[in-house]
Structure 1
Amino acid sequence: MRKLIMTAFSLLLFLVSLNAQTPDRHYTVIVSLDGFRWDYPTMYKTPNLDRMGQDGVKAVMLPSFPASTFPNHYTLATGLVPDHNGIINNTFWDAENHRQYSMGDSASRYNPDYYLGEPIWVTAQKQGLKTANMYWVGSDIAIKGTYPTHYRMWNAKPFLTFEQRIDSVLTWLQKPEAERPRLVMLYFEEPDGSGHRNGPVSKETGAVVQHMDSLMGVLRARIESLPFGADINLIVTSDHGMAEISPERVVDMNKYLKPEWCEVVDGRTPTSIFSKAGYRDSIYNALKDVAHIHVWKKEEIPAELNYGSSSRVGDIVVAPELGWQFTDVARNNKGAHGYFPQSPEMQVIFRAIGPDFKKGYTSEGFVNVDIYPLLSYLLQIVPEKTDGKFERIKDILK
């Protein structure tokens, strides 16, 4: 009882500190469309997302550095920048344990030691709420020994189609009230895949964008058809954008780095270099004047990138200019990400409708670390301390 009273008191203080009245606790569904650039609706036909913006809120959201899938999905879940949440890139070298983490390697991907901070589903469940999760990064991993109330493993067979994922969400939402999740998180891997293969500006990517838009129309219609559909907030956003690349815009690292200088070279956009003893300056001096790349010693990375405090970041960090690659083997793809969040090509869509959001409102924008405090507010739970700022995003609420 004492713990319950203290939690309620903390929540009251949290809401008062935001100068906000306590909202009714509604349901929230948040969707990520991987690689959905903020300006795709101006490039392709997206009537359903356009209608969401007209009926609710629209904004341009900045990702965190690096603008890639695993770091930013986990940032959305925790409110911590990648440098603080542990997932500093899609792949990285774990210098403390002398092993590599990769999103494609089951042994490292499912190791909870790599995932720092506290995902929103853990925070919510600690405070008595049910949650559900479909394929969001981290949701099928026992972070802090906890899974969402309802979830599906990424590697479970069969792998669900986009339509089956929507069916699952509706099944969760139609559970008896005592079992029904207050928070549902839903992930789609497109249009990222098409953006990589075909580039962000292509008829193929346009067709996939339009398909994802149609699915969002289906999801919204099915949510609104529920008996309590008016009590559900729906958020659609993304992890990063997409930029054009080509084999002609490549800086070959082998021209500048000597094997005897480097302990490990890992990660794409950015690349972390762990130097051998005595060779850090050699690496830096060899790269510092090379065109089309930014090179920093770890402690000199610009503060606005919020990057470099983690032991998983190398002694030297190399970040290519937008559309360029720093690599030993050029990608065959036509699109890539991981670049600076300030680049418009990396910024993402944000749409929100529902009982807690303003109608017909365009926000000046915010950063993706702000999603965690937003969800905490919608769920009426006490948030963990994060890098997010509710003040940057609260203007979108009624």
Structure 2
Amino acid sequence: MSNKPSVVKGTRDFLPDVMAKRNYIFDTIKSSFVKYGFLPIETPAMETTQTLMGKYGEEGDRLIFKIMPRGDKLKQDKDISKLAEEALRYDLTVPFARFVVQNQNEITFPFKRYQIQPVWRADKPQKGRYREFYQCDADVVGSDSLVYEIELVQIFDEVLSNLGIPDFSIKINNRKILSGIAGVCGEEENIIPITIAIDKLDKIGKDGVIKELEQRGISSNAIEKIDPLFALSGSNEEKLKQMADFLSDSEIGTKGVEELSYVIEEVNALGLSKAKLEFEVTLARGLNYYTGAIFEVTANNVKIGSICGGGRYDDLTSLFGLKGVSGVGISFGADRIYDVMNELDLFPKSALVGTKVMFVNFGEAEQKQCMKYAKELRDQGIPCEVYPSAAKMKKQMKYADDRKIPFVVMIGSEELKNGTITYKNMESGTQETANFIQLVSELK
């Protein structure tokens, strides 16, 4: 018996219409990356387990897809996870850090790269959460200048504005502020469990965060000190003033407030198109490698979680032997952005057009002329196709309609005799007779 075909849960096939929409997103993101001076690279789908493990925190490590060993190695130990030497990449940032270290003599610092490739996570599939999905990353390594944080906020704003997303927020915080909070509360050694817990505020609420802090062994005195931070209010400047007061005895916390104040002030001076820039003290982003600014972007009024994120990491390349190379980067979640745009019906019709012209096939003589014209259109960059056989007119027109081809060209015996063409606008239904040069002018 043949097996019923299916895809692995949490993965998807993409039909041509969907691919057209996805490519519209990728092209829009890539365009902004290039404008800001980022260069493209690619890294392998697989990395060594040693490269990936220990870089994402306890929860992240559990979601790494490890590749089962083969042959004799499989017989050595029942715990396959301990034997796995390779894994599918969890994100693009850690492989990028490995790339920088291996290729440090071939690149110029500060090195600005963009990368658009799939990543994999052994997660529970649900709306907006897939096991295979694309990330679109832009990172800079080799400089600790806050100029890059400012530019990355601008890229978030530019890309999402160009995609037509009407209402979105760029939430920003600084891991130095979180370290300062842990220090002020006397819990310096517990910075990681504290950040993991408060990062879940949107998902489990204040009571849930407090319960998790207690479960992670955070003292009641520390929780009492943290409690007022859940209710910070006012403008970004007012909230930062409150944080400055709270962290006045913390050198690292004060440094975080100063960095964040500078970024927000400079972004405000330059202006944003649509984005709301919001200081969010409970934003933690659970990845262990962040050390400075952290970002998260949400599409307001759409229940899907964050659609972009990122932050600064000062120590990531040192894990691979290259010290003193600071980096900062952002990532666009193309799959979630797609879902948001689909839900809000934001894709322009132009993004869905592949073939622009179809030539109707009336027979061998007409087909030859159509093939000649089709070549000339393609030479001028106009996508077109000739229907492959002299099928019934109804069938050919249905094909063009199903494919959403905007123009249909008809060259019958009369057109061959007169050296003219007849073309139909499939959207308006209007039909005109003209010469080929006039057709080209209309299509352009």
Tell whether the structures are fold-level matches, with TM greater than 0.5: no
Bigger relative contact order, structure 1 or 2 (CA pairs below 8 A, ≥6 apart) = 1
TM-score (norm 2): 0.29
Mark the structure with the bigger radius of gyration.
2
Higher percent of residues as helix: 2
